[in-house]
Amino acid sequence: MARGKGATIGFVPTMGALHEGHKSLLDYARKENEVVVCSIFVNPTQFNNADDLKHYPRPQSEDIQLLEESHCDILFEPSVEEMYPGKDYTLLNEDFGMLDKVMEGKSRPGHFAGMITIVSKLFQLVNPDIAYFGRKDFQQLMLIKYFVTEHKLPIIIRDCPTIRDKDGLALSSRNKRLSETERMDALLIPQSLRKVKEMWRKYPVEEIKETVQNLFSDESGLGLDYFEIVYEPTLEPVIDGQTRKLPVVACIAAKAGKVRLIDNLVIQ
């Protein structure tokens, strides 16, 4: 109906447990569109870890409150049966080249197939003009942009900056699961990214990588999953002496206790 009147639809897909990071996406959408739609769907097919899915926070009434405060017009909160009728969990078999083979793709097999399947389904149902995604999930954003371009979908993808707590930790729904000590330990993630930015161009890539690995020693309380320095949007690793005229992004994934956290920073 809104579209009939020439209104544009801004769409913010989420998995709920909304925080200021999600709110910033909703605020961008509010500024640019007559109608703002938010979806909340904890997509089972993008979890490669059953424990992570089971413990994913689902604070429904707080979410609704944040959506009201953000002047969101429509909340779409489908059931698993609605999104995967008849328990048909067939996933899109998209060729992303190397985009889904590195970093998160390597560490979480199947994650991106699940993610792109649900994003594609949501795009078809909501049919937005502009969809808003956070740079916090940098690799996801690169895949979605690639997908939209490849399929010539008439949707603008807006990337929105990562919102952080005052101490630098990137906001994430999973932060709710951190103990006090784990929350403190997790600060090493943004700290190491800032260190990388300081070292960038002054030291060889390998030396920077070694420094980060050393920062995540046994005493750090964190388990480093990966640290990579890649070009945007190709996600190719940066190699000394082969510089390309593209932005460079430092990406990190680490575990604090049972909680896996990711973060990234543009360093060039």
In whole angstroms, what is the distance from residue 238 CA to residue 201 CA?
Answer: 12
> Is 55 considered catalytic here?
no
Burial of 107 (0-12, 13-18, 19+ CB in 10 A): middle
Of 29 and 170, which CB lies nearer to ligand AMP in the complex structure?
Answer: 170
Of 19 and 229, which CB lies nearer to ligand AMP in the complex structure?
Answer: 19
The least distance separating ligand AMP from the CB of residue 183, rounded to whole angstroms, comes to 15
**CB contact at 8 A, 126 and 11:** yes
The least distance separating ligand AMP from the CB of residue 185, rounded to whole angstroms, comes to 18
DSSP state of 197: H
Bridge partners, residue 9, by sequence: 35
Q: Whose CB is nearest to ligand AMP? A: 134
Per the document, the length of the chain is 268
Q: Which residues bind ligand AMP (CB under 6 A)?
A: 14-15, 21-22, 24-25, 133-134, 136-137, 160, 162-163, 170-173
The dihedral through the CA atoms of 90, 261, 231, 42 has a sign that is positive
Of 25 and 205, which CB lies nearer to ligand AMP in the complex structure?
Answer: 25
In whole angstroms, what is the distance from residue 205 CA to residue 238 CA?
Answer: 8
The least distance separating ligand AMP from the CB of residue 42, rounded to whole angstroms, comes to 9
The least distance separating ligand AMP from the CB of residue 87, rounded to whole angstroms, comes to 23
Of 59 and 211, which CB lies nearer to ligand AMP in the complex structure?
Answer: 59
Question: Which residues carry out catalysis?
Answer: 22
